[in-house]
Amino acid sequence: MDSSSNSTSLIHLLASAAAAIVVLSASAIFFYRRLLKNSTTTNLFSSYRRNRLPLGNLGWPFLGETLDFISCAYSDRPETFMDKRRLLYGKVFKSHIFGSPTIVSTDAEVSRSILQSDAKTFVPSYPRSLTELMGKSSILLINGSLQRRIHGLIGAFLKSPHLKAQITSDMQKYIQQSMIKWTEDRPVYIQHETKQIAFQVLVKALISLDIGDDMEFLKKQFQEFIAGLMSFPINLPGTTLYRSLQAKKRMVKLIHKIIQTKRSSNMDGSMSFPEDVVDVLLKDANPQLTNDLICDNIIDLMIPGEDSVPVLITLAVKYLSDCPAALRQLTEENLRLKRLKEKLGEPLCWSDYLLSLPFTQDVITETLRMGNIIIGVMRKAMKDVEIKGVFIPKGWCVFTYFRSIHLDDNLYDSPYQFFPWRWQKEKDTSGNGGNFTPFGGGQRLCPGLDLARLEALIFLHHFVTHFRWVAEEDSIINFPTVRLRRRMPVWVKRRRDDDVSIISTNNSNKNPMSSMVVTGSIYDYRLDTTGQSTGQNGNKRIYS
Ligand code: HEM
């Protein structure tokens, strides 16, 4: 599915996509002009209101500070844009990005209040071109009681033990099908493999579609569809946006057919147990849950399967490849669980992954903190608001930028170092404190968070217990979506029992595993109680 690393896209959270599109788009100028004509705009700039705004700079006419934002976003440190302004104006400042005057929050408490607010105060805000592609009734765009209802229904189903069991069994099956094809004479592209696996797993959970012709058709259409999300917003035959909308129409047709078949077979209300998200939404009595609404949401829900979850897993493999101490401890933990289950003659179930791999969980948490797959979320103020002394005028956008908070050295020691041990002390991974919000918060807290973690745990378990690997040099691209430049190529060797991966960076095109002497064993490596390494290949570079 991932034929090119450039083809990845993010609709799931559109904050970064918004920047790319708006800067390229003539619609930004159109929007700006409209804004200036709008009577509320006059209000926005009345001197009383202007004086109450946070400090900051609105930049150039039309473009605002978007170019500076984009040039930082393409670098290794996208947060430099924020860092410069934090020094000048404080943690909350005004700017003009994404085609709108915007209050940027890099303050954990202010961001937390914004996320916790309801739709009377803040609503999601995305550029028009993206909202057209998502469809009017997408959960990402609707507000109020309907959003809460759909969120609740989807969230409860995604958290249910029934679905976790199904995801675990599907994930194990698809991982096995993928890994069986891995050979030692060519690299495996982790980002590509995980995209295939996670998409199939999610589509099965959404519409009960198994691997086959329809799944292949859907994958192909979906690829074409998401390409449009990062395209120039001109809808004429031959343009990317046009092709994207055509692909969406073909997906809609297939999904409508599935929904209709399910609806007809449930006319008598005989459906006892929902097997997938469509069943869950069909079972609800709310008349607003029409076929069109269900269809729009099913398509949106495919996006994390194609983008966020695979990126989470790929980043974890990348960080582990660069941190032998963490890899050793994680491998040891997973081998221990594998052997225990083998001894008991039991298969691994979802609760084994979620409850018996605490260090692997910490690795995933640390990956979410450092990776910032979703850099932040955009909201629009529905009325004048004051939070912690910060005035946000009605009609202005607010950008809660998670990345600066997750990499703030007042909140995290050595924030640029991958150090999963920090989570052994810091157990607030809920996001309630506002310091750690990779899944957002409040009424729009990601309903798929448990699922994302479970999929990552299962993949890492099977990867480290079946293979040793050597990672090729690769780097993280942060914009417009987070991904690995080369899709994370690794050279693998099937594991014998008891050995442990020694990682190095390989620049040749021969499998480096073939000439590698494995010098470590899982038992020659220890961490003391503070997490400091005492082994020779330890995490000294983390604490040096
Ligand atoms: C690493 C993986 C993931 C990350 C980092 C992530 C992150 C987020 C974030 C930050 C939000 C909040 C958006 C906002 O406040 O506007 C969100 C919302 C959402 N996520 Fe995820 N997500 C992930 C995986 C998933 C998965 C696997 C699913 C479902 C299968 C999912 C479904 C959703 C939905 C439906 C919403 C919208 C909720 C609403 O607006 O009511 N996500 N996600």
464 SS3 class = helix
Question: 108: Cβ below 6 Å to ligand 1?
Answer: no
242 SS3 class = helix
CA atoms of 61 and 99, how far apart (whole Å): 10
Ligand 1 centroid – CA 397 distance (Å) = 20
User: β-strands 476-477, 483-484: how paired?
Assistant: antiparallel
Question: 140: Cβ below 6 Å to ligand 1?
Answer: yes
Identify the DSSP state of 434: S
Ligand 1 centroid – CA 308 distance (Å) = 9
CB 375 within 8 A of CB 405: no
Shortest-distance atom of ligand 1 to CA 312 = 1
Give the number of other CB atoms < 10 A from CB of residue 201.
25
CA atoms of 63 and 60, how far apart (whole Å): 6
Ligand 1 centroid – CA 529 distance (Å) = 35
Shortest-distance atom of ligand 1 to CA 151 = 41
Question: 436: Cβ below 6 Å to ligand 1?
Answer: no
CA atoms of 367 and 313, how far apart (whole Å): 9
Shortest-distance atom of ligand 1 to CA 378 = 16
In the prediction, which pLDDT does 433 show? 64
Alpha-carbon distances of 132 from 97, 125, 242, 252, rounded to whole Å: 21, 13, 12, 14
Question: 439: Cβ below 6 Å to ligand 1?
Answer: yes
pTM of structure: 0.86
CA atoms of 506 and 508, how far apart (whole Å): 6
CB 242 within 8 A of CB 342: no
In the prediction, which pLDDT does 409 show? 94
| Beta bridge pairs of residue 521 | 499
Q: By alpha-carbon position, which residue is closest to atom 43 of ligand 1?
A: 446
Ligand 1 centroid – CA 448 distance (Å) = 6
SS (H, E, C) 30-81: HHHHHHHHCHHHHHHCCHHHHHHCCCECCCECCCECHHHHHHHHCCCCCCHH
In the prediction, which pLDDT does 434 show? 76
Longest dimension (CA), the chain: 74
- pLDDT tens for 203-223 read 999 999 999 999 999 999 998
Question: 203: Cβ below 6 Å to ligand 1?
Answer: no
Is the four-CA dihedral 310, 223, 303, 204 of positive or negative sign?
negative
Ligand 1 centroid – CA 167 distance (Å) = 17
Shortest-distance atom of ligand 1 to CA 451 = 27
Question: 92: Cβ below 6 Å to ligand 1?
Answer: no
Give the list of residues 6+ apart from residue 253 with CB closer than 8 angstroms, or none. Answer: none
Ligand 1 centroid – CA 9 distance (Å) = 15
CB 487 within 8 A of CB 192: yes
Annotate 323-363 with DSSP letters as a single string. Answer: -HHHHHHHHHHHHHHHHHHHHHT----HHHHHHS-HHHHHH
Is the four-CA dihedral 290, 209, 314, 437 of positive or negative sign?
positive
Question: 337: Cβ below 6 Å to ligand 1?
Answer: no
CA atoms of 495 and 463, how far apart (whole Å): 10
Beta strands in 370-411 (DSSP E): 376-381, 385-387, 390-392, 397-401
202: phi then psi, degrees, rounded to nearest 5? -70, -40
CB 133 within 8 A of CB 228: yes
CA atoms of 25 and 410, how far apart (whole Å): 38
Taking only the tens of pLDDT, the chain with its 544 residues reads 333 333 333 334 343 444 444 444 433 444 444 444 444 444 555 677 777 899 999 999 889 999 999 999 999 999 999 999 999 999 999 999 978 999 999 999 999 999 999 999 999 988 766 777 787 888 988 999 999 999 999 999 999 999 999 999 999 999 999 999 999 999 999 999 999 999 999 999 999 999 999 999 999 999 899 888 777 778 899 998 899 999 999 999 999 999 999 998 877 666 678 999 999 999 998 999 999 999 999 999 998 888 999 999 999 999 999 999 999 999 999 999 999 999 999 999 999 999 999 999 999 999 999 999 999 999 999 999 999 999 999 999 999 999 999 999 999 999 999 999 999 986 556 555 679 999 999 999 999 999 999 999 999 999 999 999 999 999 999 988 899 999 999 999 998 764 544 444 444 555 555 544 333 333 222 233 333 333 333 322 222 1
CB 498 within 8 A of CB 336: no
Q: By alpha-carbon position, which residue is closest to atom 33 of ligand 1?
A: 446
| Beta bridge pairs of residue 400 | 105, 377
Candidates 396, 400, 398, 387; CA nearest to 431 is: 400
In this structure, what token pair is assigned to residue 7?
Answer: 């083809």
- pLDDT tens for 271-287 read 678 999 999 999 998 99
CA atoms of 419 and 325, how far apart (whole Å): 10
CB 382 within 8 A of CB 123: yes
Question: 448: Cβ below 6 Å to ligand 1?
Answer: yes
CB 495 within 8 A of CB 14: no
In this structure, what token pair is assigned to residue 273?
Answer: 């147990």
